[in-house]
Amino acid sequence: MNKKDPRAYSRVVVDGVTRAPSRAMLRAVGFVDEDFGKPQVGIASTWSQVTPCNMHIDGLAREAAAGADATGGKSVIFNTITVSDGISMGTPGMRYSLVSREVIADSIETVMEAEGLDGLVAIGGCDKNMPGCMMAMARMDRPAVFVYGGTIRPGSGHTDVISVFEAVGGHAKGAVSDAQLLEVERTAIPGPGSCGGMYTANTMASAIEALGMSLPNSSAQEAVADAKRNDARRAGAAVCELLARGIRPSDILCKEAFENAIAVTIALGGSTNAVLHLLAIAAAANVELKLEDFSRIGARVPMLADLRPSGRYMMSELIAIGGIRPLMKTLLDAGLLHGDCLTVSGQTLADDLTGVSPYPEGQDIIRPLENPIKADSHLVILRGNLAPSGAVAKITGKEGERFAGPARVFGSEQQALDQILAGGIQSGDVVVIRYEGPRGGPGMPEMLSPTSAIMGQGLGDSVALITDGRFSGGSHGFVVGHVAPEAAAGGPIALLEDGDRIVIDARKREISVDLDEQALEDRMRGWQPEVRDAGCLLRKYARQVSCASQGAITDAPA
């Protein structure tokens, strides 16, 4: 197969006398004679009514299709799934969230391969369908562009979904009335779009743009804006140009591109989930990326954005002053980005950023390099006798950089949440939530409900939380996730007992328990793994999934 041929894949399906049955089927879905000589562009839509993040994406898919059709291609729209983290959070359904990333990647690969589609526009709006789309693009290596569905507008009183979660904690404490809770519930989510802070969706959109896999400014547009519809239409056209030029994801997704994505994520104060997802996308692209790369880049890139959850502003306010491109230009000029990386525009990143204007005078959303919020990364990779294979902390500096205290150990998120809401956690405690890792959950659910309850009860500055699960991009406070090996794999977190003294030191990049090696070995002799009841998909996932430090992927090399 000649991969430089724009019709390398569709030609096998529709050319020649023997393919008449295939052409007959395609005529029924709208193909005409001349369409069979055009490259076919798959438009992978994650539309559904499951979540506001994706409720508008059917319209964006039609725009992308129109862009491809007007530029010499023939579009074919198909769907994949999405699930809503915000809706399933704190329930057993949240175990399916990270699993859905693999299902999405597999399903897009399935359709593209089965139907012989030559190029791809993938449109994602919620946390897991974005990296899922990217993993599929990297695996198949066909000309492709990612389109972000766009951010939601703020709710009444500058609220968003995290406001609701934290109001639940405040209600449990008695600081938020029934009427106040109902009001924020009714008004915090005003319409379509992804959660409004620098949570996982906006983090991943920004990282994907920095990778070079979406068109300039795709990450910084509101879901309901005309600019977003134009972005989708231009993406359809861009794929046809990539097909004509033979530019594939493997030409874009190099190690330096991932370093750019990490740098932008750090500068924006992005979600810990970016670590998990960038590792997974890199694995799909056959690029070697490790936890140590985040530490190496984090040592020289400062955190500049005063964005939620730890900051004050929302993505819509960053969009109003220019989005992420002035920030990227600042990083490029400071030598913190690789400007020679190719992007889906067909130009280098440096070319894409030529002529970008700086932020307006007087804005305080993005700090200057000489006055950062934090001089190095807020994403801190920790190791120690509690996490020999690594853990990921989110330390913005506001929480302090060292925490030591007695463990309060819970075998599930729900057990911990019940105690937090009942007032059973005290200042100085280290809440430990285990058996919520990729294998143990199964599914590595996010701990947004416990972290939000801690914040809502006013304990955000005086309680730490560690887990072998992960965190929502909306989580903040002194939190450490992705502890590996996880409890279900016999990691040291499985051996903790109430009262064990835990030390988390972001400066030394250590997480440890005050137990010697002999004490841990003695406890291990009496350890038995917990095995949870789980559905068929979760059982299959638990058998296949890798460690969080490898991206929690299901196709890792044996």
- CATH number, domain of 522, equals 3.50.30.80
Q: Is 527 among the domain residues?
A: yes
Q: What is the bridge-based pairing of β-strands 464-467 and 478-484?
A: parallel
Residues 337 and 222 in one domain: yes
Same domain? 410 vs 433: yes
Distance in angstroms (rounded) separating the CA atoms of residues 490 and 71: 55
Name residue 406's beta-bridge partners. 501
Compute the average pLDDT of residues 45-63. Answer: 97
Same domain, yes or no: 341 and 389: no
Same-domain status, 130 and 255: yes
Question: How sure is the predictor about 364, in pLDDT bands with cuts at 50, 70 and 90?
Answer: very high
Q: Phi first, then psi: what are they for 13, rounded to 5°?
A: -90, -35
Q: Is residue 372 part of a domain?
A: no
| From 206, 472, 546, 549, the catalytic residue | 472
| Rounded (10°) angle between helices 325-333 and 255-267 | 110
Look-up of token digits 């779009």? 193
Element of type H or E holding 467 = strand 464-467
Question: For the whole model, what pTM was predicted?
Answer: 0.97
- Residue 529 CB contacts under 8 Å (≥ 6 apart), including other chains: 487, 488, 490, 494
The number of CA neighbours under 13 Å toward the Cβ of 202 is: 33
State how many domains the chain has: 3
For the chain, helix, strand, coil in percent to 5 are 40, 15, 45
The Cα 462–Cα 378 span in angstroms is: 18
Of 163-172, 356-365, 413-422, give the lowest mean pLDDT range: 163-172
With both helix axes pointing from N to C terminus, report the angle between 161-173 and 178-187 in degrees, rounded to the nearest 10: 170
Q: Is residue 359 part of a domain?
A: no
- Residue 324 clears pLDDT 90, i.e. is over it: yes
Clarify whether residues 137 and 17 are in a common domain.
yes
d(C-alpha 11, C-alpha 19), whole Å? 10
* Domain shared by 23 and 113, yes or no: yes
- Residue-wise pLDDT for 263-314, tens only, equals 999 999 999 999 999 999 999 999 999 999 999 999 999 999 999 998 999 9
Q: Give ∠ CA 427-428-429 in degrees, rounded to 5.
A: 95
Q: Are 70 and 104 members of one domain?
A: yes
Given 168, 190, 212, the domain boundary residue is 190
Is the sign of the CA dihedral 375, 376, 379, 385 positive or negative?
A: negative
**Of 310, 269, 275, the residue nearest 399 (C-alpha):** 310
Predicted confidence at residue 484, as pLDDT, reads: 98
Whether residue 337 is contained in a domain is answered as: yes
pLDDT of residue 340: 98
Q: Which domain holds residue 419?
A: 380-550
Tell me, yes or no, whether 461 lies in a domain.
yes
Domain presence at residue 44: yes
Q: How far apart are CA 60 and CA 68, in angstroms?
A: 13
Statement to judge: residues 243 and 314 lie in one domain = yes
Looking at the fold, whether 265 and 253 belong to one and the same domain comes out as: yes
Of the candidates 445, 412, 422, 457, the one whose C-alpha atom is nearest the C-alpha of residue 168 is 457
Type of residue at 41: V
Mean pLDDT, the chain, as a whole number?
96
Closest by alpha carbon to 229, among 76, 66, 81?
Answer: 66
The predicted-structure confidence for 446-499, as pLDDT tens digits, reads as follows: 999 999 999 999 999 999 999 999 999 888 889 999 999 999 999 999 999 999
CA distances, 370 to each of 112, 118, 251, 359 (Å): 47, 46, 34, 15
- Domain co-membership, 342 together with 456: no
Is residue 520 a part of any domain in this protein? yes
Any domain includes 362: no
**What CATH number does residue 83 fall under?**
3.40.50.2300
pLDDT at 476: 87
Residue 267, CB-side half-sphere exposure with 13 Å CA sphere: 31
Same domain assignment for residues 395 and 331:
no
CA–CA gap between residue 431 and residue 448 (Å, rounded):
14
251 in the same domain as 186:
no
Is-catalytic flag, 163?
Answer: no
* Strand, coil or helix: 187: helix
